[in-house]
Every structure is written in structure tokens, then in C-alpha cells.
Amino acid sequence: MSERHVVFVMMPSTGHVNPSLPIVAEMASRGVIVTYYVHAQFRKVVEATGANWRQMQRPHDLTEEQATKYLPGLDKTACLFPASAVPVAAAILPFLLSDMENLHPRPSLILYDPFLPQGLVVARHLHIPSVSLLTYTGPGVVSCQASVSLQWETNPAVQRAAQEIEQMYGVDIFEHGLVGEFYSMERNTVATFERLFAPPSSSLQNDRLSNVPFRCVGPMIASEEARISHAWASAEQLDKKLPWNTIDEARRQSKHVVYLSMGSVATSSFWGRKFGPTAESNGLQAFSGKEFVQFVLNSAFEAFRHEEDILVVAAIGPQIDALDGLPPAPDNFILQEVVPQLQLLQKCDVFITHGGANSLHEALGFALPLVVVPMFGDQPFNADALADTGAAVSFKFPNETLSAPALRLAIRQMLDPGNSFRLAARDLNHEMARSGGVARAVDFILFGDDATDAHAKFAGA
């Protein structure tokens, strides 16, 4: 019986890497060898789990050489993420295949992020079983208008790259997939619980994903010690301590602690760049990450400036110009570039969040009600789904709905004793606790539905 060797091919994003880390650690504890392909920014946190880290290019940006090949005569900005993931995949596949063929022992399973087509292609070309890991609540939350999906798919760089992949490796990545949705035909694990699962919803998804199997395995929440708070923050910013004495003193005085964070994507890759078509369905296509974060911060400043019984802790991100042009923060605000989110959530009463899957699961882990101010991707869907459960207030279309009075009212409702939002959050907390866990997720990833047959298959018997 040969050793199990699982290869991870992951998206270089805090919200995608962090949920994978408990899975890696659990596999390592079982004696499974893990090799993990991701950008160097995540090397330290990956190696801390016991995995072997391997470098892989970010899918967000084409190199000049890649742009010349896949976008002849055009600037590389003619193919932006998520469409850029396809030509980047085509460009790096020769290296990935060569590198994986030289791994020892031979990989027995490829676990990959469905945003990246290279995981699927490598698995099929090398005849290795594959499982995709959805770090969001299901395919329905990444669906978008057919015109947008087809615009990405018909981008000249995407077309050239997809044709190259099919010619060289015999894999039609769009047969059962879309840009950003390259699922396995074997197993797809969804890191959420059934109540929040979002099945395929668009006409294109229903057409191409009709035979794709999905399974909820419960949220994967990494401990504070085994996670990365913000991949693009400096070591100094990551090491900076919150004034815990101030927060604890506020709690002793029966003040309410509100945590505000708009996540890591807006404060990194989109900081100086417009959201564009990605956020069109939420009315934010003209906003950059900086403009959006400052809009939310300014609304919060106005909403809580005179609320003496509220202390707001806001994660503003690592950008040096995060506060440029904003009025001074009120005295009842603590602003810090990066915060230890799990540690802080334990001391909070309400969470104002962008609605990323990790953030909402972590908040529900402490039965916290949420105010969701979404940008794009899965976030608007998550906002509505949580609002439907009664555990959140959704500010979908924030450019139209978010104001200081509206934000203040939402928070005040959630701070009333015995309010319905907190009760609903407790119900979700209990449901989430029953949904699985890391050990059961790893069992499904390794063995599927039939543990006996799958054990023999993945052990190489």
C-alpha cells in the first residue's frame, strides 16, 4: 500500500487559503503527505500546517510575455481577473505538470480551487482523482449575468488559452464549467452548511453544471495561530497589537463593541482599481476598493460619532492612503490596519462585514448578528441569504441603501436585549455546529461516500 499524497492547487486569497488550512492540518495529522501550490505570499502559513509549499503564479495578472502570446497587439489590461486565470493557467501548465510528475510519492488526489482551471486539467491529464474545494457557499453565489460570463469566456486571451489547453491536454475546460467555475465531475466540497448552500442558479450554470455533484461539509475555520489575517500586509502591520485593555474596559462599562471590516480583497488587489463588471449586479461597478471602503468608513463615522455607549473597532487594511480625504475618526473608534478577527469577534456584539463566506461563518460561530455591506461575487447573495434567516440586515446596493441613519438604526436594533437578530444568529450557530467539521470533511475528500472502496482507491491498493 503506497502513501497517500494530496496536492492542493489554491487561489492566492486570504478567503480561499484560510479555509483550506484546517484540512491540510487534519490530513497531516493522519500521515497524509500534502504538497500545496500557491503564491509565495502564503508560504509561511502553508508550511506551518506541515505541507510542502510550491510556488505558483497569481491568476490576477498576465506577465508581459504571457500578454504578448495570448493578447497580441493588445495591452495586458484587456484581460483582467477572473478571465485572466485562464491564460495564466495555460502558461504555467507545462511547469505544473512537469513538477507534479516528479513528486514522490505520486499524487493520489488533486484538491483544487475551482477558480483555477489548472487543477482540473492536471488531474485529468495525469489521471489522478480530483476534488474541488468551494470556500464560498455554493455555485449560486458566484453566478452572474450571462452577458458578463460570455464576455469573459469570449475574451481573445481566454479563447486562445482554452484552445491551447484542449489541444495540448485534451481537456475542454468549458464543457462543464465557466470562467471562475471549473468544478470536478467527481466531488466538489462546499465549506458551508445546508441552510446557506446556494445551488446553481443562472441559466448558464444550469446548462453546464447539471451533472456536477456538490456536498456541504460545514465551515472550515482556522485557528488564529494557523491562519493569515491579510496576505498583503507588512510584518509590522501583522504584528501590531490591538489595545485590548481599552476594549475590555469598554465591555466592563457595559458599552457595546461593534467590529467593522470590509475584508481583504477590497484593500488589496482592487484598492486602486474599479470593480467593473464584477460588481455591476450590485451597482458598484464604478467604485474602486479605496472608494468603497472609505464610503463605508465615512458612513460609520457619521453614524456612531455621538453614540457614547458604542465602541467601534475598524480594520482599515494595509494601504498607506486608507484614511486620505476622510474626516478624523471619532473618539469612540479604534482604527487598525489588520486585526486578529477570531479573537476580536469573541468580544463583539455586532459585526459590520462585507459578507465574505469566511467572515459570516466566523461571526455565526459566535452567534453574532451581522450588518452586511456587500461589494461583488458571493457577497450580495450572502447578504440576502443571511437577511432571509433573520440574522442580518442587508445593505445590498449600498450606494443607494447605506447611510449613517440607516446604519445606526440597524445596529441599534441588534443591540436591544433579546432582539430577534441575535436569536436567529444563535439558531444558525447551532445548525452550523451540527453540520460536520474538519474530520468529516477530510473523510469525504479522501474517501467519498463509500469509505471502503475509496480507501483502497486513494491509498493506491
> What residue segments make up the domains of the chain, in order of their start?
5-220+437-459, 230-433
Q: What is the pLDDT of residue 382?
A: 95
For the domain spanning 5-220+437-459, the CATH number is 3.40.50.2000
Q: What is the pLDDT of residue 450?
A: 66
Q: What is the pLDDT of residue 457?
A: 44
Fold identical between 5-220+437-459 and 230-433? yes
Read off the pLDDT of residues 69-116 as tens digits, 9 standing for 90 and up: 999 999 989 999 999 999 999 999 999 999 999 999 999 999 999 999
Distance of CA 283 to the CA centre of its chain: 21
Read off the pLDDT of residues 248-265 as tens digits, 9 standing for 90 and up: 999 999 999 999 999 988
**Which parts of the chain register pLDDT below 70?**
1-2, 222-227, 231-232, 450-461
Instruction: Say if residues 391 and 352 touch (Cβ distance below 8 Å).
Output: no
Q: What is the pLDDT of residue 269?
A: 83
What is 373-434 written as a DSSP string?
Answer: ---STTHHHHHHHHHHHTSEEE--SHHHH--HHHHHHHHHHHHSTT-HHHHHHHHHHHHHHT
DSSP secondary structure code for residue 327 in this structure = P
* pTM for this prediction: 0.89
CA dihedral 64, 69, 71, 72 (to 10 degrees): 100
Instruction: Say if residues 240 and 301 touch (Cβ distance below 8 Å).
Output: no
Q: What is the pLDDT of residue 226?
A: 67
Q: How far apart are CA 282 and CA 288, in angstroms?
A: 13
Q: How far apart are CA 332 and CA 337, in angstroms?
A: 17
Q: What is the pLDDT of residue 277?
A: 84
Q: What is the pLDDT of residue 224?
A: 54
Q: What is the pLDDT of residue 2?
A: 64
Class for the domain spanning 230-433: alpha beta
